[in-house]
């Protein structure tokens, strides 16, 4: 059965359910609250791992569904929620509820607009897939009680169903023209077979059983461990091997030769929609491309100033070669790299009160990127903390290929991924008094825009004292400016991969391996790369406006608290909110 036929049937059922319940809501605020509650309960049902991480244990025995039938049902339910929401009189809501209404409406409209495209087919990228989702479970779930381990074992038993659904969906996607390009997916098969081990004891899936918790008796522990090993050997490893065979024999050979989103069915419209979603603006693809070129030129001029500061005897290209090849800029061991990252992180922790009045309570840690994906993925990333407080945030640093991980980038990298970047913003959002769809959701332009803006805060927090580190900051900003050019080039202007690699290599100090990994990432995830620079520029413009209008009354700590105080919102909403904040600050300081 095709996705459109499945969706039509699901829409009919969802509409009937809505019609029978439409008259049950008494007033606008009550109807909105009930709808938000129902929507969130449904979200957790669809995402059982998220539910567990938030302390909701109703779905502990299963993994999410990735079948086409489940995707169609989700699309239909989102449409039914939107219909119910738009039947509420928004004008009758108070300001706080009106914000919730508008943001939930935008979320649901995005879900509905996505339905005609084949995104549900794209379960694989060069960085992730069903195999990595399973392999990350030991680090995503709580392991304190008997019930925690029991639910994990049940989920191991659900792996064959989950990977079987993934195969069916990927197979249908290949037939429908929704599959990934060939070139950036090289090496993905190895990341799958990494988890096909000779025995359960060699598998990452037994990691939770490395040490017995005090709360579990030795006898019970032996039983749990025995059952887990049996589930790994009987269910997980054969299913993972079958998935690896499917990938090698069916999915990889069905890859697309073309690179851009324009190669998908209705690909031009799909990419324009992705650009709109990831920037939360109405900027055209051409406008985004031109903005990137403008930013590249501006940042290049600042980079030349730093080169002059260190009195380097050579041109920009020679300086890039120097940075990419001189051993002084690289760690000798993984431990040395992690130690350098950790020192920067602790320094940033101590400087946070300089620029923030409110700090997140949840801590974070520094850990290496998992070995199965390290060589093919980017230099670092962040994993959010569990909402129920059982797991800290994680700043993942890539310790593979050390000659491709320059030390002069680490200050900008840490400020982006940990604090004041992703960890501060995301952990703080989870602590706000907001509906859960806002606390645990958000818009990429805000989240990644904040991460890039946070890099610049190092100038006020005592970082970038070394000119090479300051060049690393500029190189990272240039990286995000290049993304605007490269992403639009690849997906809307017919660029080759080599054009994209060359453009980034010519303008940044990123290592060539990192550039290769990044371009592969942009190819397999169209549009996401546009969020960073667009969001950061809006935040910087709002700060410039606040400083100009408030003058001596401007308080950077209050500004940042206000900027983050509504969670990760669309840029248009952020601008409205901050303009109102500026007026309130004027009144407060008169």
Mean pLDDT confidence for 257-282: 97
**Residue 8: pLDDT above 60?**
no
Distance in angstroms (rounded) separating the CA atoms of residues 136 and 143: 14
Q: What pLDDT shows up at residue 60? A: 95
The pTM score is 0.93
**Residue 532: pLDDT above 50?**
yes
Per-residue pLDDT band for 361 (boundaries 50, 70, 90) equals: very high
- The partner residues of 393 in beta bridges, in order of sequence, read 364
**Residue 376: pLDDT above 90?**
no
Tell which residue, 438, 435, 417, 403, has the closest CA to residue 570: 438
Mean pLDDT confidence for 203-224: 97
Helices 422-431 and 410-417, packing angle to 10 deg: 10
**Residue 143: pLDDT above 80?**
yes
Contact criterion met (CB below 8 Å) for 564 and 98: no
Q: What pLDDT shows up at residue 560? A: 98
Host H or E run for residue 381: strand 380-383
For residue 396, give the 3-state DSSP assignment.
Answer: strand
Host H or E run for residue 393: strand 393-397
Tell which residue, 27, 243, 4, 282, has the closest CA to residue 118: 4
The dihedrals phi and psi of 256, each to the nearest 5 degrees, come to -90, 140
**Residue 9: pLDDT above 80?**
no
Q: How far is CA 405 from the centre of its chain?
A: 21
| Cα-Cα-Cα-Cα dihedral sign, residues 466, 472, 474, 477 | negative
Retrieve residue 65's tokens.
Answer: 């569904």
pLDDT digits (tens, 9 = 90+) for 38-83: 999 999 999 999 999 999 999 999 999 999 999 999 999 999 999 9
**Residue 15: pLDDT above 60?**
no
Mean pLDDT confidence for 329-353: 98
Distance in angstroms (rounded) separating the CA atoms of residues 454 and 419: 8
**Residue 329: pLDDT above 80?**
yes
For residue 395, give the 3-state DSSP assignment.
Answer: strand
Q: What pLDDT shows up at residue 26? A: 59
Tell which residue, 284, 258, 264, 278, has the closest CA to residue 490: 258
Q: What pLDDT shows up at residue 7? A: 44
Per-residue pLDDT band for 23 (boundaries 50, 70, 90) equals: very low
Q: Are strands 380-383 and 393-397 parallel, antiparallel or unpaired?
A: antiparallel
**Residue 267: pLDDT above 80?**
yes
> What is the biggest distance separating any 2 CA atoms in the chain, rounded to whole angstroms?
77
Q: What pLDDT shows up at residue 211? A: 95
- The partner residues of 330 in beta bridges, in order of sequence, read 406
pLDDT digits (tens, 9 = 90+) for 78-135: 999 999 999 999 999 999 999 999 999 999 999 999 999 999 999 999 989 999 999 9
For residue 367, give the 3-state DSSP assignment.
Answer: strand
Tell which residue, 294, 274, 299, has the closest CA to residue 284: 274
Burial of 590 (0-12, 13-18, 19+ CB in 10 A): exposed
Distance in angstroms (rounded) separating the CA atoms of residues 241 and 553: 63
- The partner residues of 395 in beta bridges, in order of sequence, read 366, 382
* Number of C-beta neighbours around residue 90 at 10 A: 14
Tell which residue, 575, 545, 516, 484, has the closest CA to residue 126: 516
Contact criterion met (CB below 8 Å) for 566 and 99: yes
Q: What pLDDT shows up at residue 590? A: 86
Retrieve residue 277's tokens.
Answer: 């979603």
The dihedrals phi and psi of 118, each to the nearest 5 degrees, come to -95, 35
Retrieve residue 12's tokens.
Answer: 């009919």
Specify whether the backbone of 327 is left (phi greater than 0), alpha (psi in -120 to 50) or beta: alpha
Burial of 89 (0-12, 13-18, 19+ CB in 10 A): exposed
Q: What pLDDT shows up at residue 20? A: 42
6-15, 232-241, 288-297, 488-497: the lowest-pLDDT one: 6-15
Residue 71 C-beta-side C-alpha neighbours within 13 Å: 25
Contact criterion met (CB below 8 Å) for 410 and 543: no
24-33, 98-107, 180-189, 480-489: the lowest-pLDDT one: 24-33
Q: What pLDDT shows up at residue 377? A: 87
Contact criterion met (CB below 8 Å) for 404 and 5: no
Host H or E run for residue 290: helix 285-309
pLDDT digits (tens, 9 = 90+) for 281-312: 999 999 999 999 999 999 999 999 999 999 99
Retrieve residue 411's tokens.
Answer: 């200050």
């Amino acid at each position: 059965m095709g996705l459109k036929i499945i969706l039509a049937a699901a829409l009919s059922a969802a509409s009937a359910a809505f019609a029978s319940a439409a008259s049950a809501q008494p007033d606008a605020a009550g109807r909105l609250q009930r709808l938000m509650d129902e929507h969130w309960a449904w979200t957790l049902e669809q995402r059982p791992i998220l539910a567990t991480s938030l302390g909701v244990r109703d779905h502990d025995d299963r993994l999410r569904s990735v079948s086409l039938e489940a995707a169609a049902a989700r699309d239909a339910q989102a449409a039914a929620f939107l219909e119910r929401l738009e039947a509420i009189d928004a004008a009758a809501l108070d300001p706080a509820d009106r914000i919730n209404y508008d943001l939930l409406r935008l979320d649901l409209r995005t879900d509905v607009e996505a339905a005609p495209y084949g995104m549900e087919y794209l379960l694989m990228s060069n960085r992730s897939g069903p195999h990595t989702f399973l392999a990350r479970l030991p680090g995503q779930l709580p392991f304190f009680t008997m019930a925690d381990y029991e639910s994990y074992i049940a989920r191991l038993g659900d792996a064959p169903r989950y990977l079987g659904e993934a195969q069916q969906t990927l197979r249908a996607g290949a037939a429908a023209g929704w599959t990934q390009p060939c070139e950036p997916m090289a090496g993905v098969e190895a990341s799958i077979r990494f988890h096909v081990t000779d025995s359960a004891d060699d598998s990452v899936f037994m990691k939770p059983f490395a040490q017995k918790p005090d709360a579990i008796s030795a006898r019970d522990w032996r039983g749990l461990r025995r059952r887990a090993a049996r589930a790994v050997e009987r269910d997980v490893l054969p299913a993972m091997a079958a998935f690896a065979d499917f990938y090698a024999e069916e999915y990889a050979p069905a890859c697309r030769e073309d690179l851009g989103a324009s190669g998908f069915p209705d690909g031009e419209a799909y990419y324009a929609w992705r650009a709109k979603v990831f920037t939360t603006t109405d900027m055209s693809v051409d406008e985004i491309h031109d903005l990137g070129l403008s930013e590249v030129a501006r940042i290049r001029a600042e980079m030349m100033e730093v080169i002059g500061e260190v009195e380097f005897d050579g041109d920009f290209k020679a300086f890039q070669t120097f940075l990419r090849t001189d051993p002084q800029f690289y760690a000798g061991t993984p431990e040395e790299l992690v130690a350098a990252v950790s020192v920067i992180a602790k320094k940033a922790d101590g400087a946070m009160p300089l620029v923030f009045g409110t700090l997140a309570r949840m801590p974070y840690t520094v850990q290496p990127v998992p070995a199965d994906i390290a060589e093919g993925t980017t230099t670092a990333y962040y994993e959010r903390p569990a909402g129920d407080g059982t797991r800290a945030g994680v700043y993942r640093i890539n310790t593979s290929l050390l000659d491709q991980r320059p030390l002069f980038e680490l200050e900008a990298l840490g400020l982006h991924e940990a604090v004041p970047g992703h960890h501060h913003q995301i952990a703080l959002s989870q602590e706000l008094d907001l509906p859960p769809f806002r606390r645990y959701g958000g818009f990429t332009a805000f989240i990644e825009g904040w991460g890039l803006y946070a890099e610049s805060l190092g100038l006020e927090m005592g970082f970038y004292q070394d000119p090479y580190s300051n060049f690393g900051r500029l190189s990272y900003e240039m990286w995000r400016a290049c993304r605007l050019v490269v992403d639009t080039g690849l997906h809307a202007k017919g660029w080759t991969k080599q054009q994209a690699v060359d453009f980034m290599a010519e303008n940044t100090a990123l290592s060539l391996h990192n550039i290769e990994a990044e371009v592969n990432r942009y190819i397999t995830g169209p549009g996401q790369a546009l969020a960073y620079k667009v969001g950061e520029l809006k935040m910087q413009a709002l700060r410039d406006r606040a400083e100009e209008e408030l003058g001596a009354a401007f308080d950077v700590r209050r500004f940042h608290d206000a900027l983050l105080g509504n969670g990760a919102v669309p840029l248009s909403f952020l601008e409205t909110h901050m303009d109102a904040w500026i007026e309130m600050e004027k009144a407060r300081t008169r």
